[in-house]
Structure 1
Amino acid sequence: MSKIAFIFPGQGSQSVGMGKQLADLYPEVADYFKRADVKLGTSLSSLIFEGPQEQLTLTANTQPALLTTSVAIYEKFKQSGIVPDYVAGHSLGEYTALVASEAISFEDGVYAVRKRGEFMEEAVPAGQGAMAAVLGMEAELLDKVCSSVSQEGYPVQLANLNCPGQIVISGSAKGVEIASIRAKENGAKRVIPLEVSGPFHSSLMKPAAEKLRQTLESIEIKEAKVPLIANVNASPVTNSMEIKDLLIEQLYSPVRWQQSVEKMVEYGVDTFVEIGPGKVLSGLVKKVDRSLKAFAVYDEESLQLAIQSLKGGSE
């Protein structure tokens, strides 16, 4: 019996106008954007639908915007009656996955990721941290490079293990710069600096993690109804206390995305449905294993296609 996982995108998948087509078509989708506006006391929906892009890209805006859009699309997809065996999300997407598995309410989720975005922006002054994607290098060798640079006093570490040959490093601006040069010297095909507002998933995020702990203490986290494959350890979790601890740890730990996909495959998952803007995660799934089925659901056409394919049993 084949199993299915719902996966939810993280920062980088946002774009102005995301979710608008479905919100215009379905009142139940539009309702989520209104609820987010009420919860945050600001017109997040007009920023999502109309921009400007520079404002939407600010971490404190991007995170609630992506969660809102993804949950709204998920709500529509859920009406198809297709249910997941597992859920997972990339970094911020982990919160969306927890809303989908009913561990966190939508309102609490929007509030938590708004605060998370603010804490992440405050943790390291602009320009002092950086991230870069390293292509075509083994994780073990890159980890050694980062460790030696960190020992020299310039913190840098593996941040996202996305798929074979695609790893993101994160840390101090100088650390990332030195590690990027050494990665190339050690055989990396390419190193691409990322346009981000901070060194996410690095030890420099520990001050943000402490503040996030207080925010997560203030909301209700329940047992997850669908097991979440957590970023931190690529293992299934349903326990509410464990979920909270992993969300805090996630801020300064690597996102083990490749291992998460491999773990779900190990558990019998052969179909992945990415729900939310873009197609980043469904693309990564295919890079982990070409034989897997992967759908991206982000507008009316892709929604109907995925439902027909999954219900009809066809590709």
Structure 2
Amino acid sequence: MMLAYVFPGQGSQFVGMGKDWYDRYDFVREIFDTADQALGFSLTELIFQGPAEELQKTANTQPAILTASVAMLQVLNKAGIRPAAAAGHSLGEYTALVAAGTLTFCDAVRLVRLRGKFMQEAVPLGQGGMMAVLGLDADKVVEGCRLAAEAGIVEAANFNSPGQVVVAGEISALKKAQETLKSLGAKRCMMLPVSAPFHSSLMTPAGERLAVELAKVEIKNPEIPVLANINADYYTTAEQVRDGLIRQVSNPVLWEQSIRRFVADGYRMFVEIGPGNVLAGLLKKIDKSSGIININGEGDPEPLITRLKEA
């Protein structure tokens, strides 16, 4: 059975993530140490001790989740387990590219630190946000955003699963969209605790700044197929990766489409690597027949490694 790794994005973080395996393995501690050295401050201390308010700042959250996820990935690498393909949700795409040998961990952790900073600075605090729309078909969400555009910029940002689409935009337009989407039949429209309208056209300045930084790092062709958020198609060259990471900042995450592409291509066993289990929940809504194993850095990994080797 072909195995695909999937990596979570922002929102899965919590104080203490990865601590269990950090205490258990020297090579996991080395990854956290590498992140500290690359960033010039103790990200490890922030991850394990908080405060949560500081960890939740976008410029901290992104390298923190990446570091914890790569540390968990390394446990599987050491056990000799390799995926046939990978994908990541938003920020998680960087972890997928590390897994594919496309980016070094050092470069990736520096890039996502800057990515978070650029995304936060693209729109002044309090002027933009995101809203989860539940129980409404994706095409109706897109239509609702179009109808609400008279109040400002509001766009579909994450196509997560059937009946779950996240929209992003200016606060005034989000309020208008909330009314419009409910009138179209949405069961719930819930503002999310994020500080910027990620994956919308309002993030274009962040993408332009990120392009400058991406030009400074070596990007290799992926060693395994990695599905891109922007089009649910596989990266095959370094230049595609560079372009995709720039565009990803201001374009919607096609997560449901990505999982459906995996399933159509014969991937029926998924491993979510990183804190939380958000992607496992989405997978069950997208394709109930596929299996998923969570690698979240807690407890003894040996039973999970045995299951994966058998799979």
Q: TM-score range by the shorter chain?
A: over 0.9
Separation of aligned partners in 2, 1:83 and 1:50: 32
| 1:84-139 alpha-carbon deviations (Å, 9 max, x no partner) | 11100000000011011110000000000000000001000011001000000011
CA positional deviation for 1:301: 3.0
CA positional deviation for 1:287: 1.1
Separation of aligned partners in 2, 1:145 and 1:244: 32
Normalized against structure 2, the TM-score is what?
Answer: 0.98
1:165 lines up with 2:167 in the alignment: no
1:1-315 paired onto structure 2 within 5 Å: 2-150=1-149, 152-301=150-299, 303-313=301-311
CA positional deviation for 1:148: 2.2
SS of alignment partner, residue 4 of structure 1: strand
Higher mean C-alpha displacement, 299-308 vs 126-135:
299-308
Mapped contact 2:148–2:180 kept (Cα < 8 A): no
Over 6 Å off, 4+ runs: none
SS of alignment partner, residue 189 of structure 2: strand
Separation of aligned partners in 2, 1:166 and 1:306: 29
CA positional deviation for 1:300: 4.2
Mapped contact 1:14–1:278 kept (Cα < 8 A): yes
SS of alignment partner, residue 273 of structure 1: strand
Mapped contact 1:232–1:255 kept (Cα < 8 A): yes
Mapped contact 1:137–1:188 kept (Cα < 8 A): yes
CA-based RMSD: 1.0
CA positional deviation for 1:153: 4.8
CA positional deviation for 1:304: 2.8
Separation of aligned partners in 2, 1:26 and 1:198: 36
Q: Which amino acid in 1 is paired with 2:264?
A: E
Separation of aligned partners in 1, 2:77 and 2:304: 12
SS of alignment partner, residue 242 of structure 1: helix
| 1:232-283 alpha-carbon deviations (Å, 9 max, x no partner) | 0001112000111011110011100000000001110000000111101111
Q: Which amino acid in 2 is paired with 1:74?
A: L
Number of corresponding residues: 311
Unaligned runs of 5+ in 1: none
| 1:173-197 alpha-carbon deviations (Å, 9 max, x no partner) | 1111111111111100111100001
Q: Which amino acid in 1 is paired with 2:58?
A: T
CA positional deviation for 1:82: 1.8
Normalized against structure 1, the TM-score is what?
Answer: 0.97
Separation of aligned partners in 1, 2:68 and 2:284: 24
Separation of aligned partners in 2, 1:268 and 1:297: 22
Q: Which amino acid in 1 is paired with 2:100?
A: S
Mapped contact 1:136–1:188 kept (Cα < 8 A): yes
SS of alignment partner, residue 301 of structure 1: coil
Higher mean C-alpha displacement, 301-310 vs 110-119:
301-310
Mapped contact 1:296–1:302 kept (Cα < 8 A): no
Separation of aligned partners in 2, 1:211 and 1:157: 22
| 1:186-220 alpha-carbon deviations (Å, 9 max, x no partner) | 10011110000100000100010100000100111
CA positional deviation for 1:312: 3.0
Separation of aligned partners in 1, 2:11 and 2:204: 22
Q: Which amino acid in 2 is paired with 1:204?
A: L
Mapped contact 1:101–1:224 kept (Cα < 8 A): yes
Identity %: 49
SS of alignment partner, residue 232 of structure 1: coil
Separation of aligned partners in 1, 2:164 and 2:257: 13
Mapped contact 1:156–1:169 kept (Cα < 8 A): yes
Separation of aligned partners in 2, 1:137 and 1:295: 28
SS of alignment partner, residue 169 of structure 1: strand
